[in-house]
Amino acid sequence: MDILSKEGALATMAAFVDDAMDTDGNPISEQPKGAQEAYLAGLIDGLAMREYVARNMANPQDDTLSEITARYEALVAQLQPLVRWMAS
């Protein structure tokens, strides 16, 4: 499953939110929307980094750190509307 497809991302995030607990052992799904959105933002950031690293390992490039950072931040920014939609 491509984690960056809408269906893959939704399925992955839904599973994490349903099973996730905060540091006190309370389900994330029962937390206020702001806490759920923060959790999902962290999850998206991790998924985007994993996908980005996997793509770069398969097709390495001689880029500067600032170019890599800019592309990674652009990828995360593309996923942020999904975070807001999931948290609504």
Neighbours of 81 (CB within 10 A): 9
Mean pLDDT of 35-52: 75
Domain residue ranges of the chain, discontinuous segments joined by +: 6-87
- 75-78 contacts at long range (C-beta below 8 A, 24 or more positions apart): 75/48, 75/51, 76/44, 76/45, 76/48
Provide the mean pLDDT of the chain.
70
pTM of the model: 0.44
Q: How close are the terminal C-alpha atoms of the chain, in Å?
A: 25
Residue 72 scores a pLDDT above 60? yes
Residue 2 scores a pLDDT above 70? no
